[in-house]
Amino acid sequence: MSQKYEQIYEQLCQHARETALLTATESMLGWDERTNMPPEAAEYRAEQMTLLSGIIHQRRTEARLGEWLGELANSPLAADPHSDSGTTIRQSKREYDKRVKLPQSLVEELTRTASLGQHAWQTARTDNDYRTFQPLLAKTFELKRAQAEALGYVDEPYDALLDDFEPGERTSNITRVLADLREALVPLVSAIAHSGRQPEVSILARRYPTEMQEWFSRGAAAKIGFDFCRGRLDVTAHPFCTGLGPHDCRITTRYDEHFFNTAFFGTLHEAGHGIYDQGLPTDQYGLPPSEAISLGIHESQSRLWENLVGRSRAFWKFFFPAAQQAFPDCLADETLDSFYFAINDVRPSLIRVEADEATYNLHILIRFELERALLNDELAVADLPDAWNAKYAQYLGIRPETDADGVLQDIHWSAGLVGYFPTYSLGNLYASQFFAQANADLGDLSSQFAHGEFAPLNEWLRMNIHAHGQRYSAGELVQRITGKPLSHAPLIDHLFQKLAPLYGLK
C-alpha cells in the first residue's frame, strides 16, 4: 500500500514541477514587460500571458490532481504535516481547493487586464493623467469582486483576496493590527515633530551620478548576501523581485540622481527579497517546501535588510568611507553622524517607498482603507484621487499636488494585487521580532555589521526562515523562532531605541 502512495506522490510532484516550468516562463514574460519590452508590444504581451495563465490554471485544476490529493490526504505520507511530503500534500490541497472555484475565463481576464493595466499605469503616471488609467482600474476591481465571490469569504470580500497573499489572515485582524500600530506610532511621530531637531536632508539631494549609484548599491547587495551568480539587477519604473527558477532571481531598482535613498534602499529592499528566494531549498523547487510562506514573511526579509540593517549606524560605520569615495562631491566633507541622521529623517512624506520607518505604516493604512472601500463598492473609482488626497491630509497632514505623487505612485492595483498592501506592515512587525531574536541568538549584531560581517545574520535567516519554505504558517513560524506570538512591541522598541537619541526623546 505504501508503494501505491509513493507512486501517486511522485506523480503529484512531477506534475507540480512541470507546472513550475510554465509559471517561471510566465514570470519571465512579466519581468521583461516591466524592464525591456517596447511600449507597442503591450497588447500582444497581454495575449501571451493570458494564454499561459489559462494553461497553468488548467493544469492546477485537473481532476486527476484532485484525485491524487484526495488519496494522499490521509496517507502515511501526510502524517507529519511538516515533513517534505506532508507540507507538499497539505499546501497543494489547499491551493487546489481554492483554484477549482475560479472559472478559467475569469483567471484569463484577470491576467489580461493586469498586463494591460500595468502598461496603462506606467503611461498615466508618466503623464500625470489618472483619467486614462481609470477605466482599467475600474475593470480590475470589478474582476477582483468576481474573484472574491467565486472563492467565498468569511466576513467580507477582502478576506478572500487577502488570503492569496497572507494565507489564513482575516480583514478584521488586519484592521486591529493597523489600528494598534497607528495608536503606538502617532505619539512617537508627534514627539519627533515637536523635538526641535531636524537633520540636514539636503545631503541626500546632491548629485549622485547614476553609474556610481549602481556600482555602490550593487556592491552593498552582494555584501549582505545577494548572489549575483544566481541573480541580476535591472532598472524599472517600480522596483520588484521575481524568481524565474531555482538559480535565477531578478531584482530591479530605479535611480534618481538627486535623491540617494531611492536606488540604494530600494536595492537593499529587493535584495532582501532575493536573498529569501535564493535561500529556499533548490532540490524542492516547484513544491511547497521551496515556496515562500506568505508575502508578510517575504516582506519581513526585505524590510529587515533595508531598515534594521541598512539604516543602522553600524552598517554605515562600515559603508560610509566607501560612500565618501564613491561620491566625493556629495559626502567628502560630511560626517557619519550627519549622514546617518539624514537617512533616518522622520517627517510626513508623499511617496510610500521613500517613507521613513516611523511614518511608513500610515501609508499602508491609507491604501488598506481605500482598496477595501473600492472592493466593497463604498468608493467609486472616479472619486479615488480625492479620497486618496483626503486620507493623506488626515493621516499625514500633507496633500499631493499631482496624481503621479498621489494615487498613481504604486503599481499594485494596476497589476490586480488587491489585498497585498497590508503585508508590508506585517513584514515590518515580523522583521523587528525576528531581528530581536537574531540579535539575542548571535550576540552583538551591531559590532558584526560595523566590521562588514553580514554572513552570520544571513545564515541565521536561512536556517530559521528560508529553509522551511511553507512547512509552517507565518504565525507558527514566529512562535517557533521567538517563542511569542506576533506583536508590535519589538517594532516600537526598535524605533524608539534608534530615534530617541537622534531627536532627544525621553
pLDDT at residue 5, as a whole number: 96
Instruction: Report yes or no on 163 lying in a domain.
Output: no
Long-range pairs of 391-400 with CB within 8 A, sequence gap ≥ 24 = 391/366, 392/350, 392/366, 395/362, 395/365, 395/366, 396/348, 396/349, 396/359, 396/362, 396/363, 397/348, 398/348, 398/349, 398/350, 400/350
Q: What is each CA distance from 363 to 166, 356, 367, 378, 385, in whole angstroms? A: 19, 10, 7, 20, 15
Question: What whole-number distance in Å separates Cα of residue 97 and Cα of residue 60?
Answer: 10
Q: Are 120 and 222 part of one and the same domain?
A: no
- Is 180 found in the same domain as 89? no
DSSP tag of 231: E
User: How far is it, in rounded angstroms, from Cα 204 to Cα 235?
Assistant: 21
H/E stretch holding 140: helix 130-151
Q: Which residues contact 43 (CB under 8 A, 6 or more apart)?
A: 116
Last-in-domain residue among 123, 152, 181 = 152
Domain assignment present for 159: no
For position 169, what pLDDT does the model report? 95
Give the β-pairing of 248-253 and 231-235: parallel
Residues 140 and 235 in one domain: no
The domain boundary, picked from 119, 152, 185, lies at 152
The segments of the chain whose pLDDT lies below 70 read: 1
Asked if residue 280 is part of any domain, the answer here is yes
Which residues make Cβ contacts (< 8 Å) with residue 413, sequence separation at least 6?
117, 121, 137, 140, 141, 371
The per-residue pLDDT for 1 is 56
**Contact between residue 264 and residue 212 where contact means Cβ atoms under 8 Å apart:** no
Are 134 and 8 contained in the same domain? yes
AA letter at 113: T
| Residue 160, domain member (yes or no) | no
117 and 242 within one domain: no
Q: How many domains does the chain have?
A: 2
Buried b / exposed e across 249-284, counting CB within 10 Å, b at 16+? bbbbbebbeebbbbbbbbbbbbbbbbbbbbbbbeeb
Rounded Cα gap, residues 393 and 168, in angstroms: 33
What is the strand order of the sheet 241-245 is part of?
A: 231-235, 248-253, 241-245
145 with 190, same domain: the answer is no
Asked if residue 397 and residue 365 are part of one domain, the reply reads yes
What span, in angstroms and rounded, lies between the C-alpha atoms of 98 and 463? Answer: 30
Residue range(s) defining the domain that contains residue 61: 2-152
Does residue 267 share a domain with residue 130?
Answer: no
Give the start-end residues of each E strand in 33-77. none
Asked if the structure places residue 133 within a domain, the reply is yes
Runs of H (alpha helix) within 376-504: 384-396, 422-442, 445-450, 455-464, 474-482, 489-503
Just list the catalytic residues: 270
Instruction: Write down the pLDDT at residue 506.
Output: 82
Whether 205 and 93 have beta carbons less than 8 Å apart is answered as no
Q: At 244, is the secondary structure helix, strand, or coil?
A: strand
> How high is the pLDDT of residue 2?
83
Q: Do 403 and 282 sit in the same domain of this protein?
A: yes
C-alpha cell at 387: 479620497
Residue 199 lies in a domain: yes
Neighbours of 470 (CB within 10 A): 26
98 shares its domain with 232: no
On whether both 192 and 143 belong to a single domain, the answer is: no
59 domain residue, yes or no: yes
The number of residues in the chain equals 506
Burial class (CB in 10 A: 0-12, 13-18, 19+), 7: exposed
The pLDDT of residue 108 is 97
Q: How far apart are the first and last CA of the chain?
A: 67
For residue 337, the Cα-to-chain-centroid distance in whole angstroms is: 30
257 domain residue, yes or no: yes
Residues 197 and 104 placed together within one structural domain of the fold: no
User: Which CATH number characterizes residue 445's domain?
Assistant: 1.10.1370.30
Of the residues 125, 152, 179, which one is the last residue of a structural domain?
A: 152
C-alpha cell at 194: 515637536
